[in-house]
Amino acid sequence: MSERNYDFRKRHWEYHKIDRRDPGRKPESGEILLTEDWKIGFAPSCGPIAEIAADDFQDYLRKSMGVSLPLTRTDGPRTLWIEVSPDVETGFAVDVTGVHVTVAASCDAMTFRGTIHLEDMMNLEEAPVLPLGRFVRKPLYNTRTVHSGTGLDAYPDQELLALLHAGYDCIDLFLIGIDRNRLGYCDFNDVITRAARYGIKTVFHNYIQTRIHPDEAGAQERFDAVYGEIFRRYPGVSSIGLCGECLEFPSRDPATTGKPYDESVVDGIPDTRPSPGWYPCEDYPAYIQCIERAVHKFKPDAEVSFSTYNWGYAPLELRKKFLERFPEKVCLSVCYEIFSQRKLEGLSTPVMDYTMSAEEPGYYFTTECEEAHKHGIKLTGNVNTAGIAWDFGCVPMVPAPEKVLHRDRRLREAAKKWDVRNHYCTHHYGWWNGVAADLGKWSGWEDFEPDYDLLLDKIARRDYGKAAAPHVRAAWRLWSEAMSFYTASNEDQYGPWRVGPAYPFIFHPNLSRTMSGKEIQFPTAPHAHFGWRIIKTFYTPYENDEQSPGFLRYPAEIRSLEKMLDLWNKGLEKARAAVELAEPRKKDEARRLEALGHFIRNFIVTTIGIKRWWRANMALQNASSSEEAEKYLDEIEAIARAEAENVRDTIPAVEFDSRLGWEPSMEYVCDRWHLEWKLRQLDSALRETAAYRRMLRL
């Protein structure tokens, strides 16, 4: 069985999975079973979301549990009754007796959250059963924001309903102009209105630049014209998110170039000072203040959020000065793991970008939160709890739930300690409805936490069956441990980690009659938001003054990745065993887990290979004799041939699951076509090595 590109969307939108019921699961003591003599109703005083919730729950019971219940407007015995109640302060309360269930919510939107929670409970039990008694669920977080999982700014109703069922309640849209995102025209008001219909908020991820200094004459009027117009046009949007690299204003801070990064060159000589997008300029707070005034002039209750993502590397004292002047009515967004300091065999290997491999919050996150909280600044966590980051750039999720759970629990502490109550759960690489989404939902209640070990057991049984579940749990544990040996450097995450086995292995010596460079443009769809622009194909260390040089790091990183590979392969064996033991109706889900594990394993092989490739190419060009050079050529050619086998071995996985090899901002980068392109590129590289060998023998 194979899928065509984009077939994964049908599975992604199946938020009510067909036939989830275990016929052997009977109600136990202290439980009730919903049978076909029950009804679903909602109070006439409820708003329109409660009616949607009732329709949705009816659809769930019919499709997933095989129980068809009628809808009613009248409460009575054997009724699951939905209502908004003044007795519920926040969230929702559920009362279950032998002949009645009440879902009472604090507001109309929470009625839907309440019925979805009942679905979650029933799914884990694989039966339409509920425990007798009363329980209350209050969300710990104000918002949990995601980007679409099926395309950049793609939010059909199926996507909105799917993400709400996965535990997210806010969506992010890229804004580069009125009704314009990176792909062209986008009817933002349509998206905002349809999302609000389900109780989902909308925020803008701002790309609009206002290149004017806040002290210039007429500056505030300019800001009013730009940001005021946004909120005049889109009154339903709840927030706008800003970050340094997307603004790049003409700062007068002498520590910076005062220009955008791509203009910081004088007479061909680069200005080595940071551009304003990557530095906490002394005048940045005034610039942000101008935007805040413009927004709140037109919509006083809108949230303005600013991310310090770009300068989390800066010394604490410098960041403190920035926060001391931070605008009072602006929310601060802080990244959980970026710039985390790591040591590998005594070498500095800090986290350079988003990764699931970091369990503990980084120093930047903890110090920024502590300092902001001291100043009364509202906080948002940029947290990647949807289970995906830049670790493997074109996968639906990293199947390492123990890593995700550890982060979820640390974020509960951050909510209590520093009031980090808003979460930006994933960047534009989207989300997938898997175990990470489950953990995010169940760890996100104010005064309730489940037994997480039991929860993971139930999730594994629900998705893969009783016999397969222990093997799935073992695979998850091994893969979670393997992620501790992951490398998160820029050259890796913009290279082999981003596109996996499709990443080209470019021979370094420049055999050219036209004196062209060696970097090649990775082939991506012309309409892609970023596409090839975020893929660096000529593998070389991107050095950083907080990181040990590449020539020192690579031997240690290879050894670390070999440990990762060993653990990953052990987990893959467990996943294969789960396929053999999975129930017939859950066999495909088990096969998809095995395909995902197989796909990621081949990413690791590619990343080890490209590091060896770089070292061999460097050694080749520093050889002291033709004989020595030929030995390095032998090594280079052996690496290329081994990588070709790795590429061929990847094709069945991407053919089976069309989500593998795709990412919303790049589109497909590791499908069958790209893997076959990689094989052609390796053939080209081997022709170059053969030519170079002839040169050595001249």
Lookup: tokens for 193: 């209105």
Residue 419: partners with Cβ closer than 8 Å, 6 or more residues away: 373, 378, 379
* Measured distance CA(115)–CA(119) in Å, rounded: 6
State the average pLDDT over residues 546-552.
Answer: 96
Structure confidence by residue, pLDDT tens digits, 155-198: 999 999 999 999 999 999 999 999 999 889 999 999 999 999 99
Residue 296's pLDDT band, with cuts at 50, 70 and 90, is very high
Lowest mean pLDDT among 43-47, 423-427, 559-563: 43-47
Beta bridge partner(s), residue 615: none
β-pairing, 143-146 vs 420-424, is parallel
Give the model's pLDDT for residue 513: 87
Site of tokens 């071995």? 649
Structure confidence by residue, pLDDT tens digits, 509-528: 999 888 999 999 999 999 99
Q: Is 376 exposed, middle or buried (0-12, 13-18, 19+ CB in 10 A)?
A: exposed
* Measured distance CA(677)–CA(667) in Å, rounded: 16
Q: What are phi and psi of 482, to 5 degrees?
A: -60, -35
325 within 8 A of 287, measured Cβ to Cβ: no
Give the model's pLDDT for residue 291: 96
Lookup: tokens for 595: 């395909």
Structure confidence by residue, pLDDT tens digits, 464-480: 999 999 999 999 999 99
Give the model's pLDDT for residue 137: 97
Residue 13: other Cβ atoms inside 10 A: 18
Alpha-helical (H) ranges within 500-625 are 550-581, 587-621
* Measured distance CA(486)–CA(355) in Å, rounded: 9
pTM across the whole model: 0.96
Residue 521: partners with Cβ closer than 8 Å, 6 or more residues away: 532, 537
Give the model's pLDDT for residue 209: 87
Structure confidence by residue, pLDDT tens digits, 77-130: 999 999 999 999 999 999 999 999 999 999 999 999 999 999 999 999 999 999
532 within 8 A of 521, measured Cβ to Cβ: yes
472 within 8 A of 586, measured Cβ to Cβ: no
Q: 16 in helix, strand or coil?
A: coil
407 within 8 A of 336, measured Cβ to Cβ: yes
List the one residue out of 37, 242, 32, 220 whose CA is nearest residue 131: 32
* Measured distance CA(247)–CA(382) in Å, rounded: 19
pLDDT over 90 at 261, yes or no = no
Give the model's pLDDT for residue 412: 98
Give the model's pLDDT for residue 216: 95
Give the model's pLDDT for residue 63: 98
162 within 8 A of 433, measured Cβ to Cβ: yes
| Complete domains list, the chain, with CATH | 8-137 (3.30.379.10), 482-696 (no CATH)
- Please give the mean pLDDT across all residues of the chain: 96
Give the model's pLDDT for residue 618: 98
Residue 59's pLDDT band, with cuts at 50, 70 and 90, is very high
State the average pLDDT over residues 8-19.
Answer: 96
pLDDT over 80 at 1, yes or no = no
Structure confidence by residue, pLDDT tens digits, 404-449: 999 999 999 999 999 999 999 999 999 999 999 999 999 999 999 9
Beta bridge partner(s), residue 335: 382
Provide the percentage of residues in the chain whose pLDDT is more than 70.
100
Q: 516 in helix, strand or coil?
A: coil
* Measured distance CA(329)–CA(306) in Å, rounded: 11
Lookup: tokens for 84: 């908004």
pLDDT over 90 at 311, yes or no = yes
Give the model's pLDDT for residue 266: 86
Structure confidence by residue, pLDDT tens digits, 636-676: 999 999 999 999 999 999 999 999 999 999 999 999 999 99
pLDDT over 80 at 486, yes or no = yes
Residue 133: other Cβ atoms inside 10 A: 10
β-pairing, 92-96 vs 100-105, is antiparallel
Residue 37: partners with Cβ closer than 8 Å, 6 or more residues away: 78
Give the model's pLDDT for residue 338: 93
